[in-house]
Structures are given as structure tokens and as C-alpha cells.
Amino acid sequence: METGKVMQYVASFCVVAVLGIFGYVVYESKMLSYLSGDPKACINCHTMNTHYATWQHSSHRDRATCVECHLPRDTFINKMISKSRDGINHSLAMTLGGYGKNLRITDNAAERIQANCISCHQELVSQMLANSELYPQKDGVPMGRNCWECHRSVPHGTTRSLLATQNNLGIKEL
């Protein structure tokens, strides 16, 4: 056989192998589910089980999904940028084990969640927003506090440890 033909077969085999491995990684990681708004995509990673289970037992379960609280709602591009940034951060933390026993929210994610809380509860916080100039601003938060400083158990309950609900609350089918 000619050397050129052998190289074509080797190159073709390598391309097929790389595509096969990529397809397997996409399938095993359930990568395409992250493009959806389904809350079950969040539990592809076992460390989110506690957050998912506590959300399922909350009053927000029927009103707001993970995406509606944790991602910007202004444009599709901002949503995808935030989703990608969070995904990379989550992947690195999970792969390298850098998250400890409790997950911590980033400043960027806190801003998005605060904005979404206010957006959904606009009617309830309208007077507070109207008087916000009377409140001292803390870390750029208009009313000086994030919503969850007072509403700590909404929507994830009081259980925060990754070890706490593994066998207690459980995940139920919605």
C-alpha cells in the first residue's frame, strides 16, 4: 500500500475517533440538557442535589425555575454568557474539588438573583425601592441588603450543606 493511502486511513480513523469520543462526552455529561431551562439539568452534577431537593420543597417550585432566578432575563445573549460562565466555574470547582461542603455564590450571580427577586416581587418591594435613596447602599445593593439576608430560607430552605439532604429530602419527580 502507498504511504499516502495509509496516511489517509490513519487521518480518517483519528477524525472518527475524536468525533466518537466527543459524542460520548456529550452523551455522558448530558451536555445538551444545559441548553434547556429544565431544573433537572442542574442535578446532572451530584453537588446540586441538595439545592434541587430544597427548591422542590419550597413555595417557589410552582412559580420559578433555577434559570428564572439564577440567570439574567433581559437578553438571550446575556443568559447564555452567564450560563457559560457559571458552567465553567461549576465544572472547575467540581473537577478540582474546590467547593468545600457549601457552595458559595459569586458576586455576579448575586447581582442577577437580586435583580430577579426584585423583578418578580416588584409590587411587594415598590415602596422599598421608592425609598431606597434613604437606605445606605452596601456593595452596590440599592436597599443596602440582598433579599436573602432576611429571606434566608427562600427558596432553598435552611439546609445548605452538600452532605445534609443526600438521604433526607430526596428528589421527587415533578
pLDDT for the residue 43: 83
The pLDDT tens digits for 39-95 are 888 888 767 777 888 888 888 888 899 899 999 989 999 998 998 888 888 878 877
Of the ranges 11-15, 67-71, 143-147, 165-169, the best mean pLDDT one: 11-15
List the domain boundaries for the chain: 1-34, 36-174
CATH superfamily of 36-174: Di-heme elbow motif domain (1.10.3820.10)
Taking Cα atoms as reference points, which of 38, 37, 19 lies closest to residue 27?
A: 19
Taking Cα atoms as reference points, which of 40, 44, 47, 41 lies closest to residue 163?
A: 47
Q: How far is CA 154 from CA 2, 80, 90, 127, 150, in A?
A: 69, 25, 22, 21, 9
CA quadruple 71, 94, 14, 30: dihedral sign: negative
Q: How far is CA 109 from CA 49, 86, 141, in A?
A: 19, 8, 13
